[in-house]
Chain A
Amino acid sequence: MISFILNNKIIHTLTNPATPLLDFIRYESNLKGTKIGCREGDCGACTILVGEIINDKLSYRSVTSCLFPLANAVGKHIVTIEGINREGALNPIQEAMSNQNATQCGFCTVGFVMSLTGYALNKKGHEKEEAIASIDGNICRCTGYKSIEKAAGDIVNHCNAFAEGSKIERAIACGAVPAYFQGIEDTLKELTNTKEDIEANGWTIGGGTDLYVQKHDELLDVKNEFISQQLVHEPIKITDSGIELDGRCTVTQFVNEPLIMEHFPCVKGLGVLVSSTPIRNMATLAGNLVNASPIGDMSILFLALNASIELTSAQGIRSVSLSQFYQGYKKLDKTKEEILTKILIPKRATLGSVNFEKVSKRTWLDIASVNSAFWIELDGNNIKEARISAGGVGPTPAILTQTSTFLKGKNISSQTISEACEMAQNEVSPISDARGTVEYKKLLLSQLIKAHFLELFGIV
């Protein structure tokens, strides 16, 4: 039995836990405001909000319901457009969209309204950029976005006037969500969920943002293990040997960690280049590493940081260096049962500088054609040690070992850079696909290596 709150109603359901929440909402609950545009997380038409108690406080995030397993709704507050509509009137977010003519065919509109409601519930600063960022996962084919941008501006101005109380109180006060949100925290705390012990023979499901795209149908026929039914409360820990991340930490949690920002400022830029707000709100770090896509952004970053991972199963716990983890295209040093529980960034990594580069067909909300991370520790103008990782240029995300070794001891100069670029060409074997031809990917790799130096040292 899965129990949660849907808008202002408590739900207990025996529906297949692998069902995408989208289908439960539309076809079992008959809430048709949430739309289907792609079922692969790429359009945002199905965006809803998920509220849950983390460290004793209720907080909300936007997710694409097409990739969100019903099982993960357990103990949460699921909010669809029907849960924020007012009787006979528009709320200020809807009003702004309406005033700015930010809807044409209307099919994308609810997704935008929900993402902007997510903004109102999470608002940190006073800038318009924050509201725009909240809709970075919503595609509109009709408007050209300008009217939506204007509506977002109006919403920011409106919300800025409400500064009192908790985030949820502010969102209620400004009219973004109805008053019943006030009582949700208590109701959620009372909602008890007994976790059933199922004999899982299917998949380990984290955020589901890869699995639901790849195995949409198959997931329904097996019993899966849902390991991300709650957001982790303590995603990061400092230990003697470095930084320890919980595998279930979401990309959003990761990029917002002050400690990560402090040591690796490039993560801020990386954060906006990885998928979109609702996807980052679900996607886990472990999922990215285990999915083993040759262009996984997290894999690329952690490779350059020389991270290792901890794998846990009934047989025990073992640690593997990430670069050894990848053995071939989607071949891992991992048994089916093993769960990636931790990611360890060695202390040494914090002593150097890091840069991350990614170019894709569309700059935002897209998978890389080629991505690369660069970690470097200097000794004066000389390179003490460096590590370049690159994705999209081979069967697995990988470290360019020869190039990295070559850099050791060299000084930072245009010549070093161009030699490194040349060397890198010889240790990659990209293939032509929808994200680019071999020729392009090779050229792009060189350019990204140059970009690393340009960003960190202002030299190409």
Chain B
Amino acid sequence: MISNIDTYSHVRGESIYLDDIPLQVGTLFAKVFDSTVAHAHIKHLDISKAKNYPGVRAVIIHSDITGENQIGGIIPDEPLLAENMVDFIGMPIAIVVAENEHIAKKALKLIEIEYEPLPIIVDPREAHRQGKYLSTPRHFNLGDTEIAWSNCAHIFEGKAESGGQEHLYIETQGAYAVPGENGFIKVYSSTQGPTAVQKTVSRVLGKPMHQVEVDTTRLGGGFGGKEDQASTWGAMCAVAAHITKSPVKYSLDRMEDMRMTGKRHPYSSDYKIGLDKDLNIIAYEAQYYQNGGAAADLSPAILERTLFHATNTYNIPNVKTSAYPCKTNLPPNTAFRGFGGPQGMFVIETAIVQAAEALGIEPHVIQHKNLLKTGDEFPYGQKVVSEAIECWTEAETQFNFQEKIKSIEAFNNKNQLIKKGYAIMPICFGISFTKTMLNQARSLVHVYTDGSVLITTGAVEMGQGVNTKMVQVAAKTLGIDESFVKINSTNTFRIANTSPTAASATADLNGKAVEIACNKIKERLLISAAEDLGVSESDIAFVKNEIYINGEKSKLSWKDLIFSTYAKRVSLSEHAHYTPPDIHFDTNTEKGHPFAYHVFGTSIFEITLDCIRGRYTVDSAQVIHDAGQTMNEKIDLGQCEGALVQGMGWMTMEELIYDKEGRLRSNALSTYKVPDIYSVPKDLDIRFLKTEKTNLAILQSKAVGEPPLMYGIGAYFAIRNAIKAFNPKALVPFDAPATHEKILLALYGKYGEI
């Protein structure tokens, strides 16, 4: 099994990212002048001093835009440059274009602006009270909760908060636009969605899409942050390049990136859970107040996924959920690994933990009791094909769960100032774009006369190894060595109308497209080989760069066959299209079959809490993960480990602090903390469960990008469990992340005691 194909150049520093692209002579540099207030009318804007500063080539404001001043993807509610209003701190108002960045930064300081302040909303519940939404609220229903409540032996209600999360891709956002002849423009972009950038550029320039080429080699991390929000910088560079008739580059510095871009949505939620006397969850209601920020961005789609994952991996016959996309004066929040799913799952887990604590039992008793079985129905109508119980059972036995609980109890009885805590976190995550339209992909495959193969897809490589998987698919299908296959950069002129690299579905969709293209070429090659060898096609196989007849190596090699086929004037190229069958969803009834399949898994967390200082170490995270039949264990394991740690970060230390003015106070790496090497579980043991049920995944290898992030939620509940071991009476609000501050305050009863 091959390693990530980029490994060699990565460890040598030879991989090329946006900021490494050699610049053309005459390249200019852009910087954004952005709002310092969260909501206001712009009373007065004076750019003249900045414009006249030596070395400045242009200062661009909204009225300079030749096309439409609009970048909203789903809903057109977001200008590229503010017109007479600003809606969040960090909202772009003007673009300074100068001969170098230093000059551009100086010129920024010469722009004069006056604001007339308007009321600022940062709390989604406040927006909800005022009826300020980004799109229409959504409601999912299954069964009848009203009737079900009367059958419940136990009912609990509460409130759960989960904070946002900064993507913190180590490579910041950026773009480089190079104007060409006859109005053509080429944009290099660090984007997960080259087509989104192309569309946005075409819109703001008022040019047809065929005039806009977007090229992406790879990203230094994306995590959803560059799905929609990379378009902004692509569009800015394009506008600037168009106006100055020069190449323009903009690579954001970290604080600009943190200030101006959206993040994972903070959610504030209410829930009500009902159990019968045997601890079956028979009713669940929840209302989610999504903090969407000032423009829709991808919020409506994210909101929808919250509803899809509201019941996580549990079978609940009566469910009623409502989600409100609240409009606030924060930067528009956006996609982040999990896409609203984690927020929904945190709430149901909270409800279960609250119920368990009140009933004096362990949460895992309720969790286990209610796991999904094949044939159950999700609240959105799809029938479940489950691996939930399999994963749970394997986790319990392989990691000696019962022993672990006993030893934790013993430890806690012995120690007063140090306590251990644990939690189980089972997951279920649906794979597919929930917007059915996006579930399509294309590939372009060329075989050259020397036998080497070049493939292009719509997938963007951002560390997740999708390019490696594409190479594997091509090599496997054609029966050649992976070294014969090269994958090209993702480019809107080679592959049109791509869906963004998102929803964990990219390897599936693009992989199938590659498989189809390769199979078509292979069909032609088989005919050609049969002719050359004088045997029937069915006797021929392509294995390891050689052509076999009934298991015997023939005189014909892959290379010979390619040339001979070319000589016969047979096409060695193919463009293929794939769309998964059976996927549909009706937003009128909110029912359908939105997912190709689901991924399951179970994690167990154990932590040790220093109750004097209020800090902890994560001793272990042990996982049984449903990988289907992984096609690349190295890559999939890396995805699982990274996602789990990222999820843990979201639930524990990563804290976005906005003040009442809508200003981000944790606005740099010095104040916004992501896990470092010492923060991760000492023992991180992820094991794949090879599950056999057929699925729509590429080569039966289930998607792995997002699902494991949600294991991280277990860290939160393990910490909570340890706090309770120290102070059983402590009131611990369900308020993630569990920062050192919140832990210490809870340990010492500062949130109150029961």
> Which residues of A line the B interface, CB within 8 A?
26, 32-40, 42-43, 45, 80-82, 85, 90, 94, 97-98, 101, 103-110, 113, 132, 135-136, 138-149, 213, 217, 220, 357, 359-367, 369, 433-437, 439-440, 443-444, 447-448, 450-451, 454, 460
Residue pair B642, A144 in contact (C-beta under 8 Å):
yes
Q: How far is the CA of A447 from the CA of B612 in the complex (A)?
A: 6
Indicate with 1 or 0, residue by residue over B181-218, a CB within 8 angstroms of chain A CB atoms: 00000000000000000000000000000000000001
Closest to B671 in A: A434
**Closest approach, in angstroms, between the C-beta of B116 and any C-beta of chain A?**
29
Known contacts A36-B19, A107-B220; 5 further A-B pairs (Cβ under 8 A)? A45-B170, A85-B12, A364-B679, A366-B673, A451-B612
List residues of chain B with CB within 8 A of the CB of A367: 670
Tell me whether B219 is interfacial, beta carbon within 8 Å: yes
Determine if B670 and A42 form an interchain contact, defined as CB atoms under 8 angstroms apart.
Answer: yes
Question: Is B17's CB within 8 Å of the partner chain A?
Answer: yes
Contacts of B739 in A (CB 8 A): 361
Given the known A-B contacts A40-B668, A105-B463, A444-B744, are A143 and B638 also in contact in the complex, defined by CB atoms under 8 Å? Answer: yes
* Cβ contact within 8 Å between B674 and A141: yes
* Nearest Cβ on chain A to B621's Cβ, whole angstroms: 9
What residues of chain B lie closer than 8 Å to A437, measured between beta carbons? 741
B220 in contact with A365 (CB, 8 Å) = no
B254 on the interface (CB 8 Å rule)?
yes
Stretch at the interface among B3-11, B311-319, B554-562, B570-578: B3-11
Q: Are A144 and B684 in contact (CB under 8 A)?
A: yes
Residue of B nearest to A367 (CB): B670
Whether A217 pairs with B645 at a CB distance below 8 angstroms is no
CB-defined A-B contacts under 8 Å, sample of 29: A33-B12, A35-B13, A35-B170, A36-B172, A37-B171, A38-B669, A43-B669, A94-B11, A103-B4, A104-B465, A106-B6, A106-B218, A107-B17, A107-B169, A107-B221, A109-B10, A109-B13, A140-B170, A141-B674, A145-B675, A145-B676, A145-B680, A146-B680, A147-B641, A361-B655, A361-B673, A364-B679, A367-B670, A369-B741
Known: A361-B739, A439-B750. A132 touches B744 (CB 8 A): no
Q: Given the complex, which residues of A lie within 8 Å of B16, measured CB to CB?
A: 32
Q: Smallest CB-CB separation from A103: which chain B residue?
A: B10
Knowing A138-B677, A143-B638, A443-B750 are in contact, say whether A361-B653 is a contact too (CB < 8 A).
Answer: yes
Asked whether B692 is an interface residue with its Cβ less than 8 Å from the other chain, the reply is no
| B644 beta carbon closer than 8 Å to chain A | yes
Contact B679 A362 (CB under 8 A): yes
Asked if A447 meets B13 with Cβ closer than 8 Å, knowing A40-B254, A141-B223, the reply is no
B666 within 8 A of A: yes
Q: With A104-B465, A142-B221, A450-B612 given, is the CB distance from A135 to B669 under 8 Å? A: no
Chain B residues closer than 8 Å to A365, beta-carbon distance: 676
Taken together as a complex, chains A and B put the C-alpha atoms of A77 and B613 apart, in Å, by: 43
Question: Which residues in B have their C-beta under 8 angstroms from that of A360?
Answer: 740
A97 to B16, CA, bound (A): 19
Q: When the two chains form their complex, are residues A146 and B684 in contact, meaning their CB atoms are under 8 A apart? A: yes
Q: Tell me whether A101 and B635 are in contact in the complex, defined as CB-CB below 8 angstroms, given that A363-B678, A434-B671 are known contacts.
A: yes
> How many whole Å from A35's CB to the nearest CB in chain B?
7
User: Which of B168, B615, B645, B740 lies at the interface centre, i.e. has the most chain A CB atoms within 10 A of its CB?
Assistant: B740
Q: Are A81 and B10 in contact (CB under 8 A)?
A: no
B102 and A105 contact, CB distance less than 8 A: no
Residues in chain B near residue A135, CB distance under 8 A:
677
CA distance in complex: A135, B678 (Å): 10
Identify which of B105, B254, B646 contacts A38 (C-beta below 8 A).
B254
Docked pose: A359 CA to B221 CA in angstroms: 30
Q: How far is the CA of A79 from the CA of B9 in the complex (A)?
A: 18
B12 touches A81 (CB 8 A): yes
Q: Contact between B171 and A105 (Cβ–Cβ < 8 Å)?
A: yes
In the bound complex, residues from chain B placing their C-beta under 8 Å from that of A140 are 170, 677
Q: Which residues in window 722-750 of B have CB below 8 A to A? A: 739-741, 744-745, 748, 750
B665 interface contact, C-beta 8 A:
yes
Q: Give A359 to B350 CA distance when docked, in angstroms.
A: 28
Q: Which residues B1-50 have CB closer than 8 A to chain A?
A: 3-4, 6-17, 19-20
Known contacts A106-B10, A144-B684, A447-B614; decide if A35 and B220 are in contact (CB<8 Å).
yes
A195 to B655, alpha carbons, bound, how many Å? 47
- Nearest-neighbour CB distance to chain B for A446, whole angstroms, equals 9
Measured between beta carbons, the chain A residues less than 8 angstroms from B167 are: 141
Nearest residue in A to B741 (C-beta to C-beta)?
Answer: A440
- Rounded to whole angstroms, the CA-CA distance of A149 and B642 in the bound complex is 13
Specify which chain B residues have a CB less than 8 angstroms from the CB of A143 in the assembled complex.
638, 641-642
Contacts of B11 in A (CB 8 A): 90, 94, 97-98, 103, 106, 109-110, 113
Interface contact B6-A443, CB-CB below 8 Å = no
Which of B169, B462, B678 has the most chain A CB within a 10 Å cutoff? B678
Chain B hits for A109, CB < 8 A: 10-11, 13
How far does the alpha carbon of A29 sit from the alpha carbon of B169 in the complex, in Å? 26
Q: Does B410 contact A (CB under 8 A)?
A: no
CA distance A118 to B677 in the complex (A): 17
* A33 in complex: contacting residue of B13, B221, B612, CB < 8 Å: B13
Considering only residues 648-689 of chain B, those with a C-beta below 8 Å from chain A are 653, 655, 657, 665-666, 668-671, 673-680, 684
Residues B668 and A141 in contact, CB atoms below 8 Å apart: no
Q: Is the CB of B740 within 8 A of A90?
A: no
Q: Determine if B677 and A103 form an interchain contact, defined as CB atoms under 8 angstroms apart.
A: no
**Distance of A143 Cα from B3 Cα, bound (Å):** 14
* Complex-state Cα separation, A443 to B221, whole angstroms: 38
Bound: A35/B14 CA distance, A: 11
